[in-house]
Amino acid sequence: MGVIHDNLSRRKFLSSAFMTLGLSFGLGTLFIRFGQFLTPEKKEKRIGEVLIGNFTDIPDGAATPLEISGNKILVVRSKDRITAFSRICTDLGCLVSWDAAREQFICPCHQGVYDKNGKNIAGPPPRPLDRFEILAKGENVYIRV
């Protein structure tokens, strides 16, 4: 009788030990994840200048589509002025295109219209197109993304 009782006690002890260990591990992991949720790691915003070409390489009156680091961009040159806009429509995110004859950005999804300065002038877009900074260094033109 005594031997059977010892086996049951050992079994209960091991079972309780494994359950306690598993529970401690689970709660510890949950506690660490909750701490990470409360204090998220700050990611630095990476800003860089990317050479997009020589000033004369950019066609006058036209829009040049570019994709830099996942950003879809339209670079528009109007005589001696170069501007760059995000192609993402501020309504629901369709890609806008440049209408050279009207000098406007047109969104094909819901007929959103932006003027040549990226300002929303017709249709549902709630705000202007996002802009990218253009830097001229000599004849070279850079875009900051």
Q: Under the rule (CB under 6 A), what is the footprint of ligand FES?
A: 89, 91-92, 94, 107, 109-110, 112, 123-125
Which residue, 9 or 111, is less far from ligand FES as judged by CB?
A: 111
**Closest distance between ligand FES and the C-beta of residue 88, in Å?**
9
Which residue, 66 or 107, is less far from ligand FES as judged by CB?
A: 107
**Closest distance between ligand FES and the C-beta of residue 90, in Å?**
8
Distance CA(125)–CA(86), nearest Å, equals 14
Retrieve residue 89's tokens.
Answer: 């429509």
| One-letter amino acid for residue 97 of the chain | S
Which residue, 89 or 143, is less far from ligand FES as judged by CB?
A: 89
∠ CA 109-110-115, rounded to 5°: 100
Can you give the C-alpha Rg of the chain in angstroms?
A: 30
**Closest distance between ligand FES and the C-beta of residue 122, in Å?**
9
Which residue, 112 or 118, is less far from ligand FES as judged by CB?
A: 112
Q: CB within 8 A of 140, min separation 6: which ones?
A: 51, 53, 54, 55
